């Protein structure tokens, strides 16, 4: 945890731009005490003909949309951490060519009791999670 999924139009992001997003996510999450080997960033490159916004397929649009889902544990992520994520990602997304008004970031709460790694639910490890900074 966390899992960050970046949905964009195929061909919009090159590998260097994806790396900038990965670096921003990794930096903000590790600064909050998340173990680096638990950070997952997944890119979905979608065909423009399969994505519509405002009734228009993206084959008709010049400014590509972005949709970023970030799974967080509400037991650990407080308002400051939520703001830290937004403040870290917003300028990087703009830098790689996403227009703010077409960029959506959704923080999705997943309870620790519903999340397992290596066959063990995360709430059982809660006492071993370092405190957030």
User: Which H or E element spans position 57?
Assistant: strand 56-57
**3-state helix/strand/coil string of 64-128:** CCEEEEEEECCCCCCHHHHHHHHHHHHHHHHHCCCCHHHEEEEEEECCHHHCEECCEEHHHHHHH
> Minimal CA–CA distance to 101: which of 114, 85, 90, 86?
90
CB-based burial of residue 5 (10 Å sphere; 0-12 exposed, 13-18 middle, 19+ buried)?
middle
Q: Are strands 40-46 and 52-53 parallel, antiparallel or unpaired?
A: unpaired
This prediction has a pTM of 0.82
Query: Per-residue pLDDT tens for 65-100?
Result: 999 998 877 776 677 888 888 899 999 999 999 988
101 pLDDT more than 60: yes
> 3-128: what CATH class?
alpha beta
More confident residue, 68 or 125: 68
Query: Per-residue pLDDT tens for 8-60?
Result: 999 999 999 999 999 999 999 899 888 898 899 999 999 999 999 889 899 98
């Amino acid at each position: 945890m966390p899992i960050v999924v970046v949905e964009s139009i195929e061909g919009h992001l090159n590998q260097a731009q994806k790396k900038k997003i990965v670096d921003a996510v990794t930096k903000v999450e590790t600064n909050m005490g998340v173990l680096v080997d638990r950070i997952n960033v997944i890119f979905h490159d979608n065909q423009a003909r399969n994505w519509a916004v405002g009734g228009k397929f993206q084959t008709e649009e010049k400014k590509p949309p972005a949709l970023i889902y970030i799974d967080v544990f509400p037991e650990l992520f407080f308002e400051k951490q939520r703001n830290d994520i937004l403040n870290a990602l917003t300028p990087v997304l703009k830098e790689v060519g996403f227009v703010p008004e077409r960029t959506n970031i959704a923080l999705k709460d997943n309870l620790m009791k519903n999340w397992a790694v290596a066959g063990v639910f995360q709430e059982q490890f809660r006492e071993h999670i370092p405190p957030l900074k």
